[in-house]
Each structure stands twice: as C-alpha cells, then as structure tokens.
Amino acid sequence: MRKQEDQSQNGFKSILKSYRKYRLKKYGTILSEILAYYGDLSDIHGKRILELGPGRHLNLLRFFKNETNAKIVFGVGKSFIWPWMKSEYRSLVHDSYILNFLKSQGSKKYDLIYSRYVMEEHSIDPIILLRSKIYWRYLKENRLANPDRYFPSSIPNMQAIFAEAYKHLSPGGILISEIAKMKNSALDDAFLEAFHWRSLKKRKIGRLSQVVSGVKR
Ligand SMILES: C[S@@+](CC[C@H](N)C(=O)[O-])C[C@H]1O[C@@H](n2cnc3c(N)ncnc32)[C@H](O)[C@@H]1O
C-alpha cells in the first residue's frame, strides 16, 4: 500500500513538472489518488470522466482533455468561468445544478467521477446562490436553517449528489471527493458505509482536510 502511494506521489510529481501549463498542483491530492488506481496516464485511455463542481479554472479537465485518450471528459456545476477561457474549454462544463444534471443522465455510466472542495456544506459560489430563485424562496419560507436535498450545497443536497454519482459509476468505477473542511463534510462514516464498495479509503490531509475514494463493486 505504502509503495503504491509512493509511486502515485512520484507519478504526480513528474506530471506536475511535464505539464506545468495546466497548474495542476492544487489538484495534486486528486491526481495522486487517480494514479494510485490507474497506475499511469496510459490507463486513462477510453475512460469516461466526470468532474463535479470544477469551478472556473478547469485545470484537471483541460489536462485530461488534451493530454490523455479519455473517451469522455467534462464537468458539471455552477460557476463563473473566466470570460477569457477558450470556448473549447468552456464547453467542457455543463452549467447546471449538479443534482438536476445527474438525475437527467438516465443510464449513462462513468468510470471516474471526482470533485475537489464540493462535497461539503456551503461549497456553492455565494454570488450564484444569492442570485438564485431557490435561495430567496427558502428564505421567504423560513427553510434556510433546515434545508432539504433540493437546496444547493446543503448537506442533504451533497449526499443526494453523491448517491446519484454512485449510481452513475460503472462497476469498478472510482468516486473521489476531496473535502476542504472535514467539519463541513457531507460524507460521514455512516453515510459512506451504506454503499456497496469494492474498496473505500479515507485519508486525512493536514488538520482540516480529507480525501475519500471508493471503488464501486
Ligand atoms: C469551492 S468551489 C471548488 C472549485 C474547484 N473544484 C476547485 O477546486 O477549485 C465549488 C464549486 O462547485 C460549485 N457547486 C457547489 N455546489 C453545487 C451545486 N449543488 N450545484 C452546482 N454547482 C455547485 C460551486 O459553485 C463552485 O464552482
């Protein structure tokens, strides 16, 4: 296990060096996790990859799109993508609430679904939230203190997203979630253990953060 982790760390470092232009450092934890499963970039060949909440820079999506032979690469989430981002990259993201999007996916399956700093309370961009009708409706109905699964970035919303993402994993598919603040995480032990994993790993990063990764049976 230790050896595998060292290898994926080394693999990540050499990718970081060879592909500087994508500024992948902040996705280091996720990339090392991915490499711990896939070995190296050639194993990504033919894979269907989905990022939840890629934000505005699209670092890892652009990297996968340009530098691997993945079959499908795209993201879904609400964010303000930089206006100067090339349209070929902008089109990598579906501008949608994640839960709505996943529910519209029918029987589509993905081999790898990952997210960074999404599966936790309050991860939605606050300006997007303040501009949404749903926020004002919940405020008016006095439901902000106890939001349900339809309120973006609430714990029930994130748990519904995770469960839906799990449904859209192929057998042997990998689900990776990096959490910025464990105290806000939607992925508590009891919740995670309710799924049928072939394997499930939780790793602490520093004092505050964590990465959770599971392989579907
Ligand atoms: C904290 S940011 C992280 C962005 C990027 N993954 C990164 O690491 O830089 C979380 C992103 O997910 C989006 N997001 C969070 N919850 C969402 C939801 N329920 N539906 C759509 N987008 C959501 C946010 O608006 C934001 O763009």
**Hey, where are the domains in the chain?**
45-216
Q: What is the Å distance from ligand 1's center to 107 Cα?
A: 24
Which of these, 77, 168, 59, lies nearest to 119 by C-alpha position?
77
pLDDT of residue 85: 86
Q: Reduced to 3 DSSP states, what percent helix, strand and coil does the chain have, rounded to the nearest 5?
A: 40, 25, 35
All residues at 6 or more sequence positions from 163 whose CB lies less than 8 Å from its CB, including other chains? 195
Is the shortest distance between the CB of 168 and ligand 1 below 6 Å?
A: no
- CATH number given to 45-216: 3.40.50.150
Contact 202, 212 (CB under 8 A): yes
Is 118 touching ligand 1 by the criterion CB < 6 Å? yes
Q: How far is the CA of 3 from the centre of ligand 1 (A)?
A: 33
- The pLDDT of residue 31: 94
* Angstrom distance (rounded) from CA 204 to CA 103: 31
The predicted pLDDT at position 68 comes to 96
**Residue minimizing CA distance to atom 16 of ligand 1:** 124
| Structure confidence at residue 200 (pLDDT) | 98
Contact 178, 201 (CB under 8 A): no
Per-residue confidence of the chain (217 residues) as pLDDT tens digits?
455 666 667 778 889 899 999 999 999 999 999 999 998 899 999 999 999 999 998 999 999 999 999 999 999 999 988 788 889 999 999 999 999 999 999 999 999 999 999 999 999 999 999 999 999 999 999 999 999 999 998 999 999 999 999 999 999 999 999 999 999 999 999 999 999 999 999 999 999 999 999 999 9
Please state the atom number of ligand 1 nearest to the C-alpha of residue 157. 19
pLDDT at 7 (0 to 100): 62
pLDDT of residue 103: 98
Indicate if the alpha-carbon torsion angle 117, 77, 11, 15 is positive or negative: negative
Token pair 């691997």 in the structure block, residue: 68
Query: Is the beta carbon of 32 within 6 A of some atom in ligand 1?
Result: no
Phi and psi at 152, nearest 5°, equal -55, 135
CB distance 123 to ligand 1 below 6 Å = yes
Choosing from 62, 116, 123 the residue with most ligand 1 atoms within 8 A of its CB, the one to mutate for a pocket test is 123
Q: Is 47 in the pocket of ligand 1 (CB under 6 A)?
A: no
